[in-house]
A and B are shown apart, each in its own frame.
Chain A
Amino acid sequence: MAAYLMRRAIMLAATLLVSSFVVFAGLSVAPGNPLATLSGGRSLPPESVAVLVQRYHLDEPFFVQYATWLGNAVRGDLGMSITLRHDVSELIGSRSGTTIALILYAALIVLLAGVSLGLLAALRPGIVDSLVVMSTAVVVAVPPFVAAIVLIGIFAVNLRWLPALGNGSGLWDGIRHLTLPAFALAAASTAAVARVTRTTVRAELGREHVQTAVSRGIPYQAVVRRHALRNAAVPISTLAGMTVASMIALAAVVERAFSLNGLGSYLVTAALSKDFAVVQGISLVLVTSFVLINTLVDVVAAVLDPRIKLGRRA
């Protein structure tokens, strides 16, 4: 396990380095000169230009620029927002809470609802199974922004159960405001996880080792829990982890649809106003989280399936 974790840590560092480079290089491949990109096309007084040139080491070679930027970023300094004239790290910090809460909420829905629905379908062939299979087949193809429109229409406009817009204040109100966005974000992933759970639990229930457990007189519930679900946990957690990672990007759509003050919607705003330091900073944070979650998924898989560490899987 130690050797495996070591290998993963090295891979993680390499991936982060490459992705930070891609994020940074975006600045230089953007059309026009870097100054214009940084200033967002505004004409600046010469003093400001001088500050920018110094700040981004624009008079130095590309790799020196990158190294300086990365060094600052690692220390938490992501530069200044041109539009808000404020520290980018602080701007990101104040908005990331909403996004983290939204993704955690959605991840919880994906795991609880997805696994329960899939398990129910796997264990109840017939009408229950068919219902789950058909409904998930539809929902799995619904992108978050369509889910958002449908959920707002039903639960906010028609039934008036939940608020559609804004962050809310306080814990309970905050949760109420995040409920519809979280379901919109989780819908397709929940359906996907339900389908994978159904298939893998079914497959596991047909495996020989499950017969062994049954032949020993283990109660069926325990067989399902200890063997079928336990073994299905490897593909389920991998898929769930990957969909949660994908939510990092999809959160932007949902945050805008529900007017949530999160990182994703800020990224869109910043991109529209050509606030490049903010775009770069948020991109770096998002890419880093994405890479970290994927690494976590791999480590969890290795913990769940002891054969993975040896590099061979059945």
Chain B
Amino acid sequence: MNDLLRISGLTVRLPLDGEMRTVLSDVSLSIAAGEAVGLVGESGSGKSMTARSIVRLLPPGALVEGTIRYRGNDVPSLRGQRLRDLRSSVSMVFQDPRAHINPVRTVGDFLTEALRVNQRVARREAEGRAVRVLDEVGVADGPRRLRQYPHELSGGLLQRVMIAAALLTEPHLLLADEPTTALDVTTQAEVMAILDELRRERGLAMLFITHDLELAAAVCDRTAVMYAGRVMEIRASALLHDHALHPYTAALAAARPSLERRAERLVTTPGRPLSAFEAPDGCPFSTRCPHVRQRCHDERPDLRPLDGGQVACVRAEELAVSHD
């Protein structure tokens, strides 16, 4: 396999109020070079923690088990310069550009920082490159923008700046954590289109995190669905919506958040989404699943190959048949 990134059996525990809580449990996921993979799930399902594990940006005190290999490197054991090299090669686009860009430094400083500090590119050269990439992400008047401060730019512009900054270091993998959730609807579409186009042009791999199954399907080759810190299903994005194998995916698809209001928390099936540490024995979705049986409580369903994808539901086959 020519995987750029391969995560297997990733379990992450975080300290909270003096006890260790599981937030990711046995997550396995791989991304090939140039491939876009969606990561969908309700709030608290562990999407951000999965992305953060890849660049080792977990909260202090996190305990990590399992393996993460990026271009042959064992990520959890990287230190110092080799860890910084990994981070230069994997760019992150955060949800809230307003909070994730230093408010007291200029836009130009934000854009060129990685080039100048890590790659020792001269200021003039770095700024020239920044202006060119700004132009690509649809921000005109680059030289003036470089001298402005973040508070002088709108949210949409600022997110384009964040995307430009992520592209400037010429990474191989982009981690986009709900890059458009903080923006208004028209801007969302524009920013999404730019991100999608530039990624394809450059043959960049991407892990795209969203609440929106349809949006993931529009920009990703494959999509993984997470619930309570676990992967429930991974399949070709095109198939997920209409041919979901997992009851949770089907519930997400049925919720169909309208394009006008992409709800922060999806109301899918009755009941509230569980975090990994609250999940019951057996299937974590069993508390809300309309198809639950006794054996769903008895064993924890592992992710297993089915129908060209993978699914973690003991009744997947029989349910798939009954759908048709």
- In the complex, how many angstroms separate the beta carbon of B287 from the nearest chain A beta carbon? 33
Judged by a CB distance under 8 angstroms, whether A133 is at the interface is: no
Partner of A217, one of B102, B103, B118, B149: B118
A positions within 8 Å CB-CB of B: 207-209, 211-219, 222, 226-227, 230-231, 234, 304-307, 310, 312, 314
Q: Which residue of A lies closest to B175 (CB)?
A: A215
- The 3 lowest CB-CB distance pairs between A and B, nearest first, are A217-B87, A217-B84, A208-B99
Using a Cβ cutoff of 8 Å, how many contacts connect chains A and B? Answer: 78
Do B104 and A214 have beta carbons less than 8 Å apart? Answer: no
Complex CA–CA separation, A306 to B117 (angstroms): 23
21 of the cross-chain contacts (CB-CB < 8 Å) are A208-B96, A209-B100, A209-B101, A211-B94, A212-B92, A212-B94, A212-B102, A213-B113, A214-B87, A215-B87, A216-B92, A217-B88, A218-B117, A226-B105, A226-B117, A227-B105, A234-B104, A306-B104, A306-B151, A307-B103, A314-B103
Do B57 and A304 have beta carbons less than 8 Å apart? Answer: no
- In the complex, how many angstroms separate the beta carbon of B35 from the nearest chain A beta carbon? 21
Q: Which residue of B lies closest to A314 (CB)?
A: B103
Query: By CB atoms of chain B within 10 A, which of A212, A219, A230, A314 has the most?
Result: A212
Complex CA–CA separation, A314 to B92 (angstroms): 24
Do B57 and A209 have beta carbons less than 8 Å apart? Answer: no
Chain B 122-161, CB-CB to A under 8 Å as 1, else 0, gives 0000000000000000000000000001010000000000
Do A215 and B104 have beta carbons less than 8 Å apart? Answer: no
Complex CA–CA separation, A313 to B11 (angstroms): 40
Q: Which residue of B lies closest to A208 (CB)?
A: B99
- In the complex, how many angstroms separate the beta carbon of B48 from the nearest chain A beta carbon? 11
Judged by a CB distance under 8 angstroms, whether B242 is at the interface is: no
B positions within 8 Å CB-CB of A: 55, 57, 83-88, 91-92, 94, 96, 99-105, 113-114, 117-118, 149, 151, 165, 169
Point out the residues of chain A lying under 8 angstroms from B151, CB to CB.
306-307, 310, 312, 314
**Dominant secondary structure at the A interface:** helix
Complex CA–CA separation, A227 to B88 (angstroms): 18
Q: Which residue of A lies closest to B101 (CB)?
A: A209
- In the complex, how many angstroms separate the beta carbon of A53 from the nearest chain B beta carbon? 58
Point out the residues of chain A lying under 8 angstroms from B113, CB to CB.
213, 216, 218, 226
Point out the residues of chain B lying under 8 angstroms from A216, CB to CB.
87-88, 91-92, 113-114, 118, 165, 169
- In the complex, how many angstroms separate the beta carbon of B113 from the nearest chain A beta carbon? 7
Do A307 and B149 have beta carbons less than 8 Å apart? Answer: yes
Do A212 and B101 have beta carbons less than 8 Å apart? Answer: yes
Q: Which residue of B lies closest to A219 (CB)?
A: B84
Point out the residues of chain A lying under 8 angstroms from B96, CB to CB.
208
Partner of A231, one of B87, B104, B165, B169: B104
Do B57 and A211 have beta carbons less than 8 Å apart? Answer: yes
Complex CA–CA separation, A305 to B103 (angstroms): 8
Known: A214-B87, A216-B165, A231-B102. 10 other contacts (CB 8 A): A213-B102, A217-B83, A217-B85, A218-B113, A218-B114, A219-B117, A227-B102, A305-B103, A306-B103, A312-B151
